[in-house]
Amino acid sequence: MDKKRLIHAVAGSGKTKTIIDDLDIDKRNLIITYTTTNQEEIRKRVINKYGQLPERTYIFGFFEFLYKFCLVPYYDQRFLGIDFNYKPKNNFDKNFFNQQRVIHFRLSNFLINKSDIDFLGRIDYFFDCVYIDEVQDFESYDFDWIKSLSNLNAKVWLLGDFYQKTYSTSRDGNKGSGIHKDRAKWLKELESFELDETSLMESYRCPANICDFVREKMKIQIFHHDENTIQSTVKFIDNQTEIDCIMSDDKIKKLFYQKSYNYNCNGQNWGDSKGGEFSDVCVILNPKTLDCFKKEHLSDLVPQTKNKFYVACTRTKGNLYFISEESINEYKKE
Distance of alpha carbon 108 from its chain centroid, rounded? 19
Q: Where are the domains of the chain?
A: 4-200, 205-331
What's the CA gap between 122 and 124, in Å, rounded? Answer: 5
Contacts of 88 (CB under 8 A, 6+ apart): 95, 173
CA 176-179-181 angle, 5° bins: 125
Distance of alpha carbon 195 from its chain centroid, rounded? 18
**Contact call for residues 56 and 26 (beta carbons, < 8 A):** yes
Question: Residue 130's closest CA among 153, 154, 148?
Answer: 154
Whether 205-331 and 4-200 are alike in CATH topology: the answer is yes
**Contact call for residues 94 and 113 (beta carbons, < 8 A):** no
What's the CA gap between 255 and 269, in Å, rounded? Answer: 5
User: How many angstroms separate the Cα of 272 from the Cα of each of 139, 202, 222, 325?
Assistant: 18, 23, 21, 18
Q: What is the DSSP string of 229-271?
A: SPP--EEE---HHHHHHHHH-TTEEEEESS-GGGBSSSEEETG
- Give the burial class of 70: count Cβ atoms within 10 A of its Cβ; 0-12 exposed, 13-18 middle, 19 or more buried: buried
**Contact call for residues 330 and 245 (beta carbons, < 8 A):** no
What's the CA gap between 217 and 51, in Å, rounded? Answer: 43
What's the CA gap between 207 and 44, in Å, rounded? Answer: 26
Q: What is the pLDDT along the chain (334 residues), one digit of tens a residue?
A: 458 999 999 998 999 999 999 999 999 999 999 888 888 989 999 999 999 999 999 999 999 999 999 999 998 777 889 999 998 888 777 889 888 888 899 999 999 999 899 999 999 999 999 999 999 999 999 999 999 999 999 999 999 999 988 777 777 777 777 788 888 999 999 999 999 999 999 999 999 999 999 999 999 999 998 765 667 899 999 999 999 999 999 999 999 999 999 999 999 999 889 888 899 999 999 999 999 999 999 999 998 899 999 999 999 999 999 999 999 999 998 7
| Fold annotation for 205-331 | Rossmann fold (3.40.50)
H or E stretch including 312?
Answer: helix 303-313
Residue 230's pLDDT is 66
Q: Percentages helix, strand, coil for the chain, rounded to the nearest 5?
A: 40, 20, 40
Neighbours of 171 (CB within 10 A): 14
- Helix pair angle (36-50, 15-22), 10° resolution: 50
Q: What is the DSSP string of 186-231?
A: HHHHTTTSEEEEEEE-EESSS-HHHHHHHHHHH----EES-TTSPP
Report which DSSP code applies to 150: G
Chosen CATH of 4-200 out of 3.40.50.300, 3.40.140.10, 3.30.565.10, 3.40.50.2300:
3.40.50.300
